[in-house]
Amino acid sequence: MYKAVIFDFDGLILDTESVHTAIFQEMFQSYNLEFPFEEWIQNIGTQSDVSIYDLLEKEIQPIDRAELKRINEEKLHTRLHTLKVRPGVEHYLKEAQAMNLKIGLASSSDYKWVSGHLSRLGLLDYFECIMTSDDVVEVKPNPDLYLLAAKELEVEPKSCIAFEDSANGSLAAKRAGLTCVIVPNETTQHLTFPEVDYRLSSMTDCALSDLLEKLTTIKQ
């Protein structure tokens, strides 16, 4: 039934989202302000017109955006350099290859960001196609990234499984007609998700072959 798997990147393969969130929490704490966690996490998995610095300026003015961005970028570079792939991800990629499933990626981030980290992690060669914000007009929750990835892999959306960690991402996958498995991280586990087909706390919880059997049964 299933011919392809399509992975999200941020938060799903590499938990950059929790790193970003921790850095922004520290920024708010430096001003003795409560971090607007609930408002912030709604933007995960998409590109918002409202930045974290806009949210900070709602509480205090003026702020030196350039300096804050510099500090935060330094923290991000340092922490991401040692950040490892989420548990079970590479095993799923190896299983997918062994099962002759096509492997794609659909991310709301840009190609340079995604490919750079995948190269560092030694995962880039697993992917037959990588669709990013560079390839579409609208990112998730718009379905275009997933539709384009399925097209590039030459499979029907209904024959693809999307692995996601965010509400915006899972909504995009379902709108595109894919089966969606949600694997939240420590930040996105607090989100309310649209209806998805299966939920894992980690890819180590269930082998990919077993997951495919479960999903096939659910879809029958």
pLDDT tens readout for residues 146-180: 999 999 999 999 999 999 999 999 999 999 999 99
pLDDT for the residue 41? 84
- Boundaries of every domain in the chain: 4-15+85-219, 16-81
28-34, Cβ contacts within 8 angstroms, sequence gap of 24 or more: 28/56, 28/59, 31/56, 31/59, 31/60, 33/59, 33/60
Measured over the CA atoms of residue 59, residue 44, residue 141 and residue 133, the dihedral's sign is positive
Q: Quick one: what percent of the chain has pLDDT higher than 70?
A: 99
- Amino acid letter at 118? L
What's 4-15+85-219's CATH class? alpha beta
Q: Kindly indicate the confidence band of residue 46, based on its pLDDT and cuts at 50, 70 and 90.
A: confident
Residues contacting 57, CB < 8 A, separation 6+: 63
Residue-level pLDDT at 1? 87
pLDDT score of 93 more than 80: yes
Q: Would you call 10 a catalytic residue per the annotation? A: yes
Q: What is the mean predicted confidence (pLDDT) over 201-212?
A: 96
Q: Which of 30-34, 49-53, 70-74, 214-218 has the lowest mean pLDDT?
A: 49-53
pLDDT of residue 128: 98
State the pLDDT confidence band at 220, using cuts at 50, 70 and 90: low
**List 10, 15, 135, 197, catalytic entry:** 10
Mean per-residue pLDDT for 43-58?
83
* Cα 211 to chain centroid, rounded: 20
Cα of 133 vs its chain's centroid, Å: 13
pLDDT average, residue stretch 124-145: 97
Q: How confident is the model at residue 212 (pLDDT cuts 50, 70, 90)?
A: very high
- Annotated active-site residue 165? The verdict is no
Residue of 8, 135, 144, 165 marked catalytic: 8
